[in-house]
Amino acid sequence: MAAHKKKSAGKAKRQVYLVDDHPIVRQGLIKLIEQEDALEVCGEAGSVGEALGEIRKLGPDIVLVDISLENSNGLELIKTIDDLGLKIPTLVLSMHDESLYAEHALKSGASGYVMKQAASNTLIQAIEKVLDGEIYVSKTMSSQMLKMAFRGTGEKQRSGTEALSLRELEVFELIGRGNSTREIAEQLSLSVKTIETYRANIKDKLQLRSGTELMQKAIHWVENESHNIT
């Protein structure tokens, strides 16, 4: 966890707080953001527990947060910021597919969603849009969400995945992308036993009888949801 001193005595820069559990990623984001004349990183953290106290103390203009954090997830932080009435907009920056997670993020209170694979100028545009009080998702995702709003939840309800918690959904997606239990544990910084518990919970909620059925369902879901955006 680190707070950054303000460097400019001139026109006040908009303050950005970073939450990502990879220090190298945070350093890259700091370098990118501070190339902008109007933006400055005021602090950084790798977990929800580390971040919350500093966010309350520093009162940044925006919080940039990853979904996958050690022993937690960024949406819990977003919900807490909202519950505390801090009125600080949050922007999710994640490796997870926008088509699978953006809606969850917005429902949790985020003001936008950007994938880490996006171009650097896309992130800056998203930050500026959220700071202006708007919602940011890609044009493709925006179109897809409008379609879903008009036709109802449809496919998502039938898939049964609405019953899954965010962490269960993360595990489900990683199963569908061919990851083993140990690989999922490493990616989410959790124990193998914890992932096995999540797998059991997912099977129960989706009424699946075996690990094979779980894998088939997960693969089908990932393929279906990822190609839903056209």
What tens digit of pLDDT does each residue of 36-58 get?
999 999 999 998 889 999 999 99
Query: If you average pLDDT over residues 32-36, what whole number do you get?
Result: 95
Domains and CATH numbers, the chain: 2-145 (3.40.50.2300), 155-226 (1.10.10.10)
Rounded to 10 deg, the angle between the 211-226 and 166-176 helix axes is 90
What pLDDT sits at residue 157? 47
Query: If you average pLDDT over residues 14-18, what whole number do you get?
Result: 97
Structure confidence at residue 227 as a pLDDT band (50, 70, 90):
low
What pLDDT sits at residue 216? 92
What is the average pLDDT score of the chain? 86
What pLDDT sits at residue 149? 65
**Could you give the CA distance from residue 186 to residue 177 in angstroms, rounded to a whole number?**
15
**pLDDT above 70 for 152:** no
Query: If you average pLDDT over residues 147-156, what whole number do you get?
Result: 58
Structure confidence at residue 1 as a pLDDT band (50, 70, 90):
low
77 three-class SS: helix
What pLDDT sits at residue 150? 66
**Each residue of 60-97: pLDDT tens digit?**
999 999 988 877 788 889 999 988 889 999 999 998 88
Query: If you average pLDDT over residues 179-184, what whole number do you get?
Result: 93
The better pLDDT of the pair 129, 49 is held by 129
What pLDDT sits at residue 159? 55
Percent of the chain with pLDDT over 70: 87
**pLDDT above 80 for 225:** no
